[in-house]
Chain A
Amino acid sequence: MTHFSALSLLKNALTGHRSWTPQWPESQPKAEYDVVIVGAGGHGLGAAYYLAKEHGITNVAVIDKGWLGGGNTGRNTTIIRSNYLYDESARLYDHALDLWDGLSQELNYNVMYSKRGVMMLAHNVHDVQSFQRHIHANRLNGVDNRWLTAQEAQAFCPPLNISPRARYPVMGAALQKRAGTARHDAVAWGYARAAASRGVDIIQNCPVTAIRRGSDGRVTGVETAKGFIRAKKVAVSAAGNTTVVMDSAGVRLPLESFPLQALVSEPVKPIFPCVVMSNTVHAYISQSDKGELVIGSGTDQYTSYSQRGGLPLIEHTVAAICEIFPIFNRMRMLRKWGGVVDVTPDRSAIVGKTPVPGLYVNCGWGTGGFKATPGAAHTLAWTVAKDDPHPANAPFTLERFTTGRLIDEAAAAAVAH
């Protein structure tokens, strides 16, 4: 693996960039692995990396039906934050945020993590009370988050319309300065490159059609388009398609798959300094380093695997953006797309063991999985290696839907997050 540095960049620049080598090999499946991870998104690739790096398990394959990072990893709006209400969520998302901090150096790959701040707008009295509750809860948990008046919010983000006559008046905002964005593709590529350099096989364009179990109930391997692959342990991290894979192992999960859409504008000069989210009108916006405005909308109301979603949601989101930021009224939108997100009833993830020995699952991240990428990957690898959860993911069990110990971020946020 070529080490990236100013020196290697200079050397290759002088030779016309002709001697760069592929960052990971085109792997073909072996007959048997210690661990097979289904789904080569950021979470799955990251888990393979941490298995190899922290637990010395290198006989690992990451298998994907498409190309790596082509699912929700490449389709999200790249927002990173950890200002969740409940103690369990605060621990898990802040664990992820701690890992984000040193990720570029650790992977020797620039994931462009930019702590530009995430500001959540309060448009009514309920928002104000709910956000202030979040801020107090976050402070008790040592999570960065603070309250801004409307004027302070506008000072932080000048395009914001805080006129009292606005369609969506701004009554204040919650600001997490430590939050921000990262380059989503680079996260997948960085993890893939680092994992492959430690011996992990990344097998693309190879759908996993079923999980096989032995007569003792234990996992024995996976059926794929390239034949049966034996595995001592299998971890499924397949986002919207998780239930399809897990059904074949006889494990039913409390998940439903919904389309979630995003869109980008034409690229323009730097105008937008942070990320702004408005849960009440369901729009969020930031500007990529390329200059595009990146806009996210809510989930469609119906379940679907179509990776498309309906136009009314986009219209609603863009209308809200134009009201809150009138300066963007005449901005042209370039592309829109959808991803399939796996949503749990309490809007919190499931990371941990399943009733099947040797089978693990990382799912239910719903509309907010990107921000958790290093944390989900790290705790999933820990759980697989030790057959026991990490303290950060211990509460995020599948059993909570039987015992009733839900982590009810759904009620806390009242919207997708």
Chain B
Amino acid sequence: MLLIHCPYCEEILPELEFTYAGEAHIARPADPSAMSDGEWRDYLFIRSNVRGPHYERWRHAHGCGRFFNAVRDTVTDRFLTTYKAGEPRPDLSSIKETAE
């Protein structure tokens, strides 16, 4: 079972308290009617599906109930960091150093 740090509760808790909510930092289109079918496809269906550090959203469903973001290595399933929603995407090289 994954152990996940909730950046709001400041606690490391078991995965069962959380729900996964897909890739992070995918912005809703600002002008939907101007988008082509190809752009809609990219927004709705195309995900990076990274083999390695992956930016993703989680929700602390059985805790504070809030969404937050995480960087997790999809090969080892190890969390490199978690951060609050709305914060900028952390730089990979710096979090890798801290994680190590």
Contacts and interface: CB of A to CB of B under 8 A. Distances in A.
A10 B49 CA distance: 51
B72 interface: yes
Nearest to A403: B37
18 contacts: A244-B51, A252-B46, A254-B47, A257-B51, A301-B19, A303-B49, A303-B54, A303-B56, A303-B74, A305-B51, A306-B76, A310-B2, A310-B15, A311-B1, A312-B1, A345-B45, A401-B45, A402-B38
Interface in B1-51: 1-2, 15-16, 19-20, 37-38, 40-42, 44-47, 49, 51
Interface in A289-312: 301-306, 308, 310-312
B75 interface: yes
A301 B19 CA distance: 7
Interface residues on B, range: 20 to 34
Contacts of A404: 37
Given A308-B77, A312-B15, A402-B41, 11 more contacts: A244-B49, A244-B51, A254-B46, A256-B49, A302-B72, A302-B77, A304-B74, A312-B1, A345-B45, A401-B44, A404-B37
Given A303-B74, A306-B74, A306-B77, A312 B16 contact: yes
B44 A345 contact: yes
B95 to A, nearest CB: 18
Interface of A: 241, 243-244, 252-257, 301-306, 308, 310-312, 345, 401-404
A305 B51 CA distance: 7
Contacts of B46: 252-254
A301 B56 CA distance: 12
A413 B44 CA distance: 21
A243 B45 contact: no
Nearest to B49: A243
B29 to A, nearest CB: 16
